[in-house]
Amino acid sequence: MSLRRVTTLDLLAAKREGRPLTMVTAYDWPTGRLVDASGVDCVLVGDSVAMVVAGRASTIPATLEQMIYHGEIVARAASRAMVVVDLPFPLQHLGCRTAVEASARILKETGCQAVKLEGTAGQADVIAAIAAAGIPVMGHVGLRPQAVHQLGGYRMQRDIDTLLADARAAAEAGAFAVVLECIPTEAARLITETIPIPTIGIGAGLHCDGQVLVLHDLVGLSLDRVPRFVRQYADAKLAISEALLAWREDVLQRRFPGAAETLG
Ligand code: KIV
């Protein structure tokens, strides 16, 4: 495996060559190190940090300062994967200047390589302005969790014409890739075949150019119910709980510390 940093050109080449792309979220030093070492193409510092790390009910409360705090840690932890940091709500809706200023802060203060923003075709001008500033930008269409209240919940988005128009607008505005969240498989296939940039799916079926999952869902560390499109590859919640119970019991029974953990 090459140790050179993954670039936007690598992602584009992967699409052309039909090599599936992988992206996983990370929010801190250990998860940044582990996700990077797994060989994924991109590490996403998602605004999902507000839910899976901070226990908020949605991603809406995530702030720019919080994204910069977590982004800086993960960008230091990851030496090979492209680090992408989410632009938190509502910065992409406050005009091009505000969005460019916030994206530039993220790039300068975290050391990441790209930003991601949720949006429809209505945010194409913002994507274009960020890209024109030399900041790689990833789009995010379909279910946009920042718009959960407007969308009536975390529901599959089924309007194929709108989905295609949104993804096409992101590509034409200069996005280097686009996340497709919670859309029908056939819509994802059509978008993937139509637009020239990589599509990275979550709950969007097998026909995307790549897949992304939230780390805590993937390793079984999410405490609440996970979406049906998640496959859980480990039970980290169980492993942590069992370790804590065993340690507490050892302390209660005076089995910890033992000779090996006693310094003198
Ligand atoms: O914030 C996040 O983790 C995301 C992924 C679900 C794509 O945007």
SS3 labels along 88-109: CCCHHHCCHHHHHHHHHHHHHH
pLDDT at 199: 99
Q: Is 212 in the pocket of ligand 1 (CB under 6 A)?
A: yes
Whether 181 is a known active-site residue: answer yes
Q: Name the stretches of the chain with pLDDT < 50.
A: none
pLDDT at 145: 98
Q: What is the dihedral of CA 121, 127, 128, 133, to 10 degrees?
A: 170
Q: What is the pTM of this model?
A: 0.97
Neighbour count for residue 188 (Cβ, 10 Å): 26
- Residue limits of CATH 3.20.20.60 in the chain: 8-233
Nearest CA to ligand 1 atom 8: 46
Q: Is 217 in the pocket of ligand 1 (CB under 6 A)?
A: no
Phi-psi region of 173 (alpha: psi -120 to 50; beta: other; left: phi over 0): alpha
pLDDT at 224: 85
In whole angstroms, what is the distance from residue 160 CA to residue 245 CA?
50
Q: Which residues fall within 8 angstroms of residue 81, CB to CB, at 6 or more apart?
A: 5, 6, 35, 36, 40, 41, 42, 43
Q: Are 61 and 50 in contact (CB under 8 A)?
A: yes
Q: Which of 72, 109, 172, 181 is catalytic?
A: 181
Q: What is the pLDDT of residues 132-174, one digit of tens each?
A: 999 999 999 999 999 999 999 999 999 999 999 999 999 999 9
Q: Which CATH class is domain 8-233?
A: alpha beta
Q: Are 177 and 113 in contact (CB under 8 A)?
A: no
Q: Is 146 in the pocket of ligand 1 (CB under 6 A)?
A: no
